[in-house]
């Protein structure tokens, strides 16, 4: 109201609109920088292709996860140990139990096993190992200066799960510790990291608002130039009339 009464309806509208989109551009840039505000999809683990659940270690090469073919020995424990050694020899990193990446991968694998594939129910298996590979960012100046590393290598994860022996739960007693069923083969859940689009809405808001803000500033600048020309021409015509 104050701007409209002081500058007029049209000019006041342009000034207010330019201020609004300028503020939105600043707000969007802050959201973009810190990953807050209006956000898109969060990063998550998605089922890998072509096979998500590998039901035996000797099928890892068929699923294009390993290059080294595995020969089954009939001993599930020995086959799992041989597969672990082969995976690490081909560049897969065995994550420690204290690594936070392990918990995220296990939670996503539980979702795939229990709900999507319905391979096992809750309490019928245990996660014994998590392997990680890829995910490098580039280009990097060094390890501490990576703010220009906009490109990523594919990031993969394998969660190794083992079936457990069914146990009876007695009322009033603590659940027994899970015992791995050594007669069954371990399963391997193969997943690919989806980086999501967390900052995408903020990027669109920032760039779109900045473009509109600059266009409105251009309109205001052109209006000032035309007003100056008209005032100069009007003062010149008055001087000619007086002379």
Tell me the longest C-alpha to C-alpha distance in the chain: 114
Provide the residue range defining the domain that includes 172: 43-195
Q: Are 117 and 91 in contact (CB under 8 A)?
A: no
Q: How far apart are CA 59 and CA 239, in angstroms?
A: 96
Residue 8 gets the label, from left (phi > 0), alpha (psi -120 to 50) or beta, of: left
For the segment 178-197, the average pLDDT, to the nearest whole number, is: 94
Inside any domain, residue 140: yes
Total tally of structural domains belonging to the chain: 2
Task: State whether 82 and 163 are in the same domain.
Answer: yes
Which structure tokens are listed for 171?
């009322």
Is the pLDDT assigned to residue 239 strictly greater than 70?
Answer: no
Mean pLDDT of 65-74: 88
Regarding pTM above 0.95, the answer is no
Average pLDDT over residues 118-147: 87
* Cβ atoms of residues 58 and 79 within 8 Å: yes
Residue 37 lies in a domain: no
- The average pLDDT across 162-176 equals 83
Nearest CA to 195 out of 48, 41, 35, 52 is that of 41
85 plus 172 within the same structural domain: yes
Q: Is 88 among the domain residues?
A: yes
Question: Of the residues 180, 195, 210, which one is the last residue of a structural domain?
Answer: 195
Q: How many helices (H) and strands (E) does the chain have?
A: 5, 8
Helical packing angle, 9-34 and 200-242, nearest 10° = 150
Task: Give the whole-angstrom CA distance, residue 163 versus residue 184.
Answer: 7
> Are both 26 and 65 inside the same structural domain?
no
Q: Are 59 and 24 contained in the same domain? A: no
């Amino acid at each position: 109201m104050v701007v409209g009464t002081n500058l007029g309806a049209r000019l006041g509208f342009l000034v207010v609109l330019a201020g609004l989109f300028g503020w939105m551009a600043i707000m969007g840039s802050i959201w973009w920088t810190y990953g807050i505000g209006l956000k898109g999809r969060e990063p998550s683990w998605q089922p890998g292709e072509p096979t998500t659940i590998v039901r035996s270690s000797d099928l890892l090469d068929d699923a294009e996860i390993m290059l080294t073919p595995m020969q089954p020995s009939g001993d599930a424990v020995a086959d799992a140990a041989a597969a672990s050694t082969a995976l690490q020899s081909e560049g897969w990193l065995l994550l420690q139990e204290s690594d936070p990446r392990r918990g995220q991968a296990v939670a996503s694998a539980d979702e795939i096993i229990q709900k999507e594939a319905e391979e096992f129910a809750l309490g019928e298996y245990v996660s014994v190992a998590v392997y990680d590979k890829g995910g490098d960012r580039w280009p990097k100046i060094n390890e501490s200066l990576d703010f220009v590393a906009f490109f990523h290598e594919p990031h993969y994860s394998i969660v190794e799960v083992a079936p457990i022996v069914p146990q009876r739960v007695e009322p009033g007693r603590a659940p027994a510790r899970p015992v791995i069923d050594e007669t069954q083969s371990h399963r391997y859940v193969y997943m690919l990291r989806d980086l999501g689009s967390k900052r995408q809405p903020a990027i669109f808001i920032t760039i779109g608002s900045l473009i509109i803000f600059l266009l409105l500033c251009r309109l205001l600048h052109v209006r000032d130039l035309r007003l100056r020309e008209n005032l100069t021409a009007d003062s010149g015509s008055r001087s000619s009339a007086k002379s």
